[in-house]
């Protein structure tokens, strides 16, 4: 048995599918003589298609961001017109009778071996460019070839990977993934957030598991305890299959409350909202019983787009999410890129600590036209529902004042052009930097609402990267410092009569939600899968009891004491919660 960090509740027993770096891979295959000419032509068509994509990207980046930033894509286009590179690939196809994708990869490795002999930083960057170009062509080739697909499973599997990145999320099909195990990460990491959003049991931080498991091995995982069994005994397998059935049955019974309101026994209403990344999530929010979308992460539109989504494409995407959301109620967050979420056209700066670097709202001043295109699209989309506009990664008052001036100028531009938009859209900010939490009173004078992003707030408060397994244990939602800071922010919002929502992952954890309810929080936004669970907890918990629990928690000096106390209290209120809650 291996022990990891429990990050998404549930139990699964299935065969393993191990991946090295990405979700999909390509198996080389040989060709007969009759198909060599056709394969060369297929390679040429793929290169031409990528050049067209790059031309489109160059035009959009030049228009929205700047000519200098588009230079990297012009260099990529030039690589695809390099006769030496192209001829090497074609020679491999014809002489080795190898498929185009494999020939391209072999050529890349030939270049890589040459570049490694010359330790020059400029050449290393050119190699990175070449890898990017090769990846684009391989993706293009994969669209029309028909070899056996590694993810064409006959049954659901447990995916085992070193890490899962945001840009890979779209590749996961819930129907075929019974569970997820990663070597790195923590309960607030991206793999964890993804798994909870999809309702997939998951364990992170299982170091070295890829050295011990091979594809096809039977694996049992418990996303509540963080336990992973490799090729379990018959007795363990039987016990875990029984637990898995119990979990599924209980989850199905729980979701039957989707039409009920989240009202405590003493009549206090809590608004349960959903965190979404696209229209499918927004549709799922209604099915789960959420009353709206508390956080729409717009960056996933950019991460999955082949180039740069223009204003009209953004407008269409935002409108689709708004119209699919429960009550057409949506809080749209502007781009939260940087850290571990990158798009090539915003540059590839090397930063010692990217999570505390040039990211999120800090990009807006560097790329004003790019930022304004998104603002225009959101303001125009605001006419189709109850829409609020929110800015992430705020750290000081001057940022808010500057952003408000940009929003005003954007509105004036739309007005002069005669383009209809939401004139009175509420403006809010995310509280995820401790500096903003400490200056909350001044910030509340400038905004209509705030949302607390507890995931980043925890790691910034504790100076610990939540995806680093060596320090992830410090990113505890039961930290006394975190809970006291949250209580301060909630109290300030009440005094200023401004709405406050917590939209981090702790909103969907019963023990945390119990304390937050007692602190006075009445709006929680979480993964769709967590909505029925938190609704059930609210319906079982009198406010008077929650307030007493919160008072006790805020006097406790250690994380362990708070965790243990909340565990006991939530189980007293709802004995069956152990089936769906994670045991940190």
Residue 343: per-residue pLDDT: 55
Q: What is the mean pLDDT of each run of 10 residues along the chain (584 residues)?
A: 86 86 57 88 91 84 68 82 90 91 88 72 66 81 55 77 61 78 73 74 88 91 90 90 83 80 96 91 90 92 76 95 97 79 57 62 77 95 98 94 95 97 96 96 98 93 80 87 97 98 92 97 93 94 97 97 96 84 65
Catalytic residue among 503, 512, 528, 584: 503
Tell me what percent of the chain is helix, strand and coil, each rounded to the nearest 5.
55, 15, 30
- Number of CB atoms found within 10 A of residue 452's CB: 29
Residues 550-559, buried b or exposed e (16+ Cβ, 10 A)?
A: bebbbebeeb
C-alpha to C-alpha distance for 229 and 218, rounded to whole angstroms: 8
Residue 148: per-residue pLDDT: 38
For residue 471, what are its two tokens? Answer: 């320090």
- Number of CB atoms found within 10 A of residue 499's CB: 15
- Number of CB atoms found within 10 A of residue 364's CB: 21
Residue 132: per-residue pLDDT: 75
Are 157 and 150 contacting, i.e. CB atoms less than 8 angstroms apart?
Answer: no
237: exposed, middle or buried (Cβ count in 10 Å: 0-12, 13-18, 19+): middle
Q: Is residue 292 helix, strand or coil?
A: coil
155: exposed, middle or buried (Cβ count in 10 Å: 0-12, 13-18, 19+): exposed
Strands (E), 326-479: 329-333, 386-391, 427-431, 449-452
For residue 300, what are its two tokens? Answer: 């996933």
- Number of CB atoms found within 10 A of residue 251's CB: 17
Catalytic residue among 190, 227, 342, 584: 190
Question: Has 190 been annotated as catalytic?
Answer: yes
C-alpha to C-alpha distance for 514 and 67, rounded to whole angstroms: 52
CA trace torsion 228, 231, 235, 241 (10° rounding): 60
Are 503 and 451 contacting, i.e. CB atoms less than 8 angstroms apart?
Answer: yes
CA 304 to chain centre: 12
Residue 23: per-residue pLDDT: 39
Are 215 and 18 contacting, i.e. CB atoms less than 8 angstroms apart?
Answer: yes
Cβ neighbours for 374, distance < 8 A, ≥ 6 positions apart:
298, 314, 334, 335
Scanning the structure block, which residue is given the tokens 């995916």?
A: 159
- Domains (ranges, CATH) in the chain? 2-24+150-254 (3.50.30.10), 33-142 (1.10.274.10), 268-528 (3.20.20.60)
C-alpha to C-alpha distance for 520 and 498, rounded to whole angstroms: 13
Residue 577: per-residue pLDDT: 83
Cβ neighbours for 142, distance < 8 A, ≥ 6 positions apart:
24, 26, 101
Residue 304: per-residue pLDDT: 67
pTM over 0.75: no
Are 291 and 367 contacting, i.e. CB atoms less than 8 angstroms apart?
Answer: no
Scanning the structure block, which residue is given the tokens 């000419």?
A: 37
């Amino acid at each position: 048995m291996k022990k990891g960090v429990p990050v998404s509740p549930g139990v699964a027993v299935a065969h393993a599918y191990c991946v090295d770096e990405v979700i999909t891979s390509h198996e080389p295959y040989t060709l007969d003589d009759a198909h060599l000419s056709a394969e060369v032509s297929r390679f040429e068509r793929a290169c031409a298609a990528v050049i067209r994509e790059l031309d489109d990207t160059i035009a959009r980046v030049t228009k929205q961001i700047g000519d200098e930033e588009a230079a990297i894509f012009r260099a990529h286009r030039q690589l695809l017109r390099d006769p030496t590179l192209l001829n090497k690939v074609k020679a491999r196809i014809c002489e080795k009778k190898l498929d185009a994708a494999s020939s391209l990869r072999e050529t890349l490795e030939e270049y890589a071996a040459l570049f490694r002999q010359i330790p020059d930083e400029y050449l290393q960057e050119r190699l990175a460019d070449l890898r990017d170009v090769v990846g684009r062509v391989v993706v293009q080739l994969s669209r029309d070839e028909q070899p056996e697909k590694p993810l064409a499973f006959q049954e659901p599997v447990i995916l085992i990977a070193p890490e899962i990145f945001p840009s890979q999320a779209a590749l996961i099909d819930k129907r075929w993934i019974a569970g997820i195990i990663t070597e790195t990460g923590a309960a607030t990491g991206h793999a964890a957030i993804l798994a909870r959003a999809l309702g997939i049991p998951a364990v992170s931080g299982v170091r070295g598991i890829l050295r011990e498991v091979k594809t096809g091995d039977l694996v049992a995982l418990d996303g509540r305890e963080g336990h992973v069994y490799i090729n379990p005994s018959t007795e363990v397998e039987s016990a875990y299959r029984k637990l898995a059935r119990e979990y599924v049955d209980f989850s199905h019974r729980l979701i039957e409350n989707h039409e009920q309101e989240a009202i405590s026994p003493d009549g206090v209403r809590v608004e349960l909202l959903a965190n979404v990344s696209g229209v499918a999530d927004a549709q799922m929010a209604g099915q789960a019983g959420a009353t709206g979308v508390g956080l729409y992460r717009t960056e996933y539109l950019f991460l999955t787009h082949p180039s740069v989504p223009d204003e009209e494409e953004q407008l269409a995407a935002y409108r689709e999410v708004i119209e699919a959301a429960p009550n057409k109620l949506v809080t749209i967050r502007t781009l939260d890129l940087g850290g571990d979420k990158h798009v090539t056209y915003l540059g590839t700066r090397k930063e010692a600590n990217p999570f505390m670097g040039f990211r999120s709202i800090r990009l807006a001043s560097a790329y004003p036209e790019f930022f304004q295109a998104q603002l225009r699209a959101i303001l125009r989309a605001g006419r189709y529902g109850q829409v609020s506009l929110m800015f992430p990664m705020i750290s000081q008052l001057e940022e808010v004042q500057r952003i408000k001036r940009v929003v005003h100028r954007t509105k004036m531009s739309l007005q002069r052009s005669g383009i209809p938009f939401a004139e009175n859209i509420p403006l809010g900010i995310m509280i995820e930097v401790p500096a903003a939490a400490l200056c909350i009173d001044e910030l509340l004078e400038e905004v209509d609402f705030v949302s607390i992003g507890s995931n980043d707030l925890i790691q910034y408060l504790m100076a610990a990267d939540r995806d680093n397994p060596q320090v992830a244990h410090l990113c505890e939602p039961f930290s006394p410092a975190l809970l006291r800071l949250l209580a301060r922010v909630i109290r300030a919002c009440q005094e200023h009569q401004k709405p406050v929502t917590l939209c981090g992952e702790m909103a969907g954890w019963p023990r945390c939600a119990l304390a937050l309810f007692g602190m006075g929080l009445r709006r929680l936004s979480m993964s769709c899968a967590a909505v029925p669970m938190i609704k059930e907890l609210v319906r079982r918990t009198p406010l008077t009891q929650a307030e007493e629990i919160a008072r006790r928690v805020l006097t406790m000096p250690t994380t362990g004491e708070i965790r243990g106390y909340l565990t006991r209290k939530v189980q007293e209120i709802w004995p069956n919660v152990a089936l769906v809650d994670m045991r940190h």
